[in-house]
């Protein structure tokens, strides 16, 4: 038992955070096993009670060993609970990112916290719905979780940068019935100081089941999440969409050194 404890202590110096969690669990198990073994071991009882007259039976009052075991089990339960809470807190901190926003049309800044899986709390959901409302019709719609996951990922990929958005939900009569903007799945944006083509290529390389459009004259990128549908890439020039542009093939043909794993948003 001493050897196990020593090993735990040594490892704690190498991997402090993880080993503190593991240490708590090992401590809980070792303490419980130790207390149980001591309570059952005959050698732990006074010799006099065995060699002399039989000890009186104890029925109602628990002996010292029983009390000790119960105390140790409570300690073990506490240690396990503490370890679980520490782990949950560590995961929560790691997966939520601050997304700094700037509404280009309204000239207003805002900041929201979004999980890398697109998760948001109720207050943030209301805030995002308000920020991304249709400015032409005044209508609101909640934004798709996969789209929010990509937004959080872009914020994490360009830390300390502000995402300047041009358009998100569009619910006006002129908007196409099949538009991802109407479905609350699309955001048009740029990032000051970052070439839009860099953002474009990052998104195209990283995700599938998405639509990525490049608007060089307006200097923004359209991104949308279209679950279950084919990827689509385009360049918008002089009022027309040019589909399957050369940049899309080039971005995804990079060698393994620079091309990250492609995935669905939020997964
Ligand atoms: Zn768009």
The reported pLDDT for the residue numbered 171 is: 98
**Cα 118 to ligand 1 centroid, rounded to whole Å:** 19
Q: How far apart are CA 6 and CA 4, in angstroms?
A: 5
Question: Are residue 83 and residue 121 in the same domain, yes or no?
Answer: no
Structurally, the chain folds into a number of domains equal to 2
Q: Is the pLDDT of residue 152 over 50?
A: yes
Question: Are residue 81 and residue 183 in the same domain, yes or no?
Answer: no
pLDDT of 9-62, one tens digit each? 334 444 444 445 445 554 444 444 544 444 444 444 434 333 344 444 445 555
The reported pLDDT for the residue numbered 262 is: 72
Mean pLDDT estimate for the chain: 79
On whether residue 258 sits in a domain, the answer given is no
Q: Which residue has the higher pLDDT, 252 or 147?
A: 147
Q: Is the pLDDT of residue 179 over 80?
A: yes
Question: Are residue 147 and residue 242 in the same domain, yes or no?
Answer: yes
Q: Sorting pLDDT into bands at 50, 70 and 90, what band is 79?
A: low
Q: Which residue has the higher pLDDT, 63 or 239?
A: 239
Cα–chain-centroid distance for residue 29? 30
**Cα 24 to ligand 1 centroid, rounded to whole Å:** 50
On whether residue 195 sits in a domain, the answer given is yes
**Cα 187 to ligand 1 centroid, rounded to whole Å:** 6
Question: Are residue 246 and residue 114 in the same domain, yes or no?
Answer: yes
Read off the pLDDT of each residue in 203-217 and give the average, rounded to a whole number.
Answer: 96
On whether residue 261 sits in a domain, the answer given is no
Question: Are residue 137 and residue 246 in the same domain, yes or no?
Answer: yes
Q: Which of 27-41, 93-107, 141-155, 245-259 has the lowest mean pLDDT?
A: 27-41
**Cα 196 to ligand 1 centroid, rounded to whole Å:** 14
Contacts of residue 53, defined as CB under 8 A and 6 or more positions apart, other chains included, come to: none
100 φ/ψ angles, rounded to the nearest 5 degrees: -90, 125
Question: Are residue 59 and residue 175 in the same domain, yes or no?
Answer: no
On whether residue 267 sits in a domain, the answer given is no
- Provide the residue range defining the domain that includes 133: 104-252
Alpha carbon separation from 27 to 4, 71, 187 (Å, rounded): 10, 14, 50
**Cα 73 to ligand 1 centroid, rounded to whole Å:** 59
**Cα 186 to ligand 1 centroid, rounded to whole Å:** 6
* DSSP letter, residue 144: P
Question: Are residue 65 and residue 120 in the same domain, yes or no?
Answer: no
Tokens of 201: 């290529």
Nearest to 138 by CA among 109, 169, 117: 169
On whether residue 123 sits in a domain, the answer given is yes
**Cα 49 to ligand 1 centroid, rounded to whole Å:** 86
165: domain CATH number is 3.30.1380
**Which residues line ion ligand 1, judged by CB < 5 Å?**
186, 188, 222
Q: Which of 131-145, 167-181, 244-258 has the lowest mean pLDDT?
A: 244-258
Q: How far apart are CA 255 and CA 202, in angstroms?
A: 14
Alpha carbon separation from 30 to 25, 34, 66, 114, 209 (Å, rounded): 9, 6, 17, 40, 49
On whether residue 27 sits in a domain, the answer given is yes
Q: Which residue has the higher pLDDT, 162 or 50?
A: 162
Q: Are strands 96-103 and 108-115 parallel, antiparallel or unpaired?
A: antiparallel
Q: Is the pLDDT of residue 76 over 90?
A: no
**Cα 221 to ligand 1 centroid, rounded to whole Å:** 7
Choose one of 94, 122, 143: the last residue of a domain: 94
Question: Are residue 119 and residue 69 in the same domain, yes or no?
Answer: no
Question: Are residue 218 and residue 245 in the same domain, yes or no?
Answer: yes
* DSSP letter, residue 120: -
pLDDT of 134-145, one tens digit each? 999 999 999 999
Tokens of 1: 């038992």
Question: Are residue 84 and residue 125 in the same domain, yes or no?
Answer: no
**Cα 222 to ligand 1 centroid, rounded to whole Å:** 4
The reported pLDDT for the residue numbered 206 is: 94
Q: Sorting pLDDT into bands at 50, 70 and 90, what band is 261?
A: low
The reported pLDDT for the residue numbered 267 is: 72
Question: Are residue 86 and residue 108 in the same domain, yes or no?
Answer: no
Contacts of residue 222, defined as CB under 8 A and 6 or more positions apart, other chains included, come to: 186, 187, 188, 211, 212, 213, 214, 215, 236
Q: Is the pLDDT of residue 234 over 60?
A: yes
On whether residue 259 sits in a domain, the answer given is no
Tokens of 17: 């955070």
Question: Are residue 206 and residue 232 in the same domain, yes or no?
Answer: yes
On whether residue 26 sits in a domain, the answer given is yes
Whats the size of the chain, residue-wise? 267
Q: How far apart are CA 156 and CA 147, in angstroms?
A: 14
């Amino acid at each position: 038992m001493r050897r196990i404890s020593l090993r735990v202590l040594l490892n704690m110096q190498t991997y402090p955070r993880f080993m503190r969690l593991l240490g708590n669990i090992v401590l809980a198990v070792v303490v419980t096993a130790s207390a149980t073994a001591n309570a059952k071991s005959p050698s732990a009882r006074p010799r006099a009670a065995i060699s002399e007259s039989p000890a009186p039976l104890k029925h109602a009052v628990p002996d010292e060993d029983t009390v000790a075991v119960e105390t140790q089990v409570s300690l073990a339960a506490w240690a396990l609970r503490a370890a679980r809470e520490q782990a949950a807190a560590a995961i929560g901190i790691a997966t939520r990112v601050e997304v700094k926003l700037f509404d280009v049309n309204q000239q207003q800044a805002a900041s929201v916290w979004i999980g890398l899986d697109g998760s948001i709390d109720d207050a943030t959901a209301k805030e995002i719905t308000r920020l991304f409302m249709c400015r032409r019709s005044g209508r609101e719609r909640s934004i798709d979780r996969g789209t929010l996951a990509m937004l959080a990922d872009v914020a994490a990929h360009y830390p300390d940068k502000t995402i300047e958005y041009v358009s998100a939900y569009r619910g006006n009569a002129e908007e196409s019935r099949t538009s991802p903007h109407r479905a609350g799945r699309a955001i048009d944006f740029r990032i000051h100081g970052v070439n839009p083509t860099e953002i474009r290529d990052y998104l195209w390389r990283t995700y599938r089941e998405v639509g990525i459009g490049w608007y060089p004259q307006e200097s923004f990128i359209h991104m949308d999440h279209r679950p279950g549908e084919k990827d689509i890439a385009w360049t918008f020039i002089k009022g027309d969409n040019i589909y399957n542009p050369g940049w899309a093939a080039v971005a995804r043909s990079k060698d393994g050194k620079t091309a990250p794993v492609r995935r669905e948003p939020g997964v």
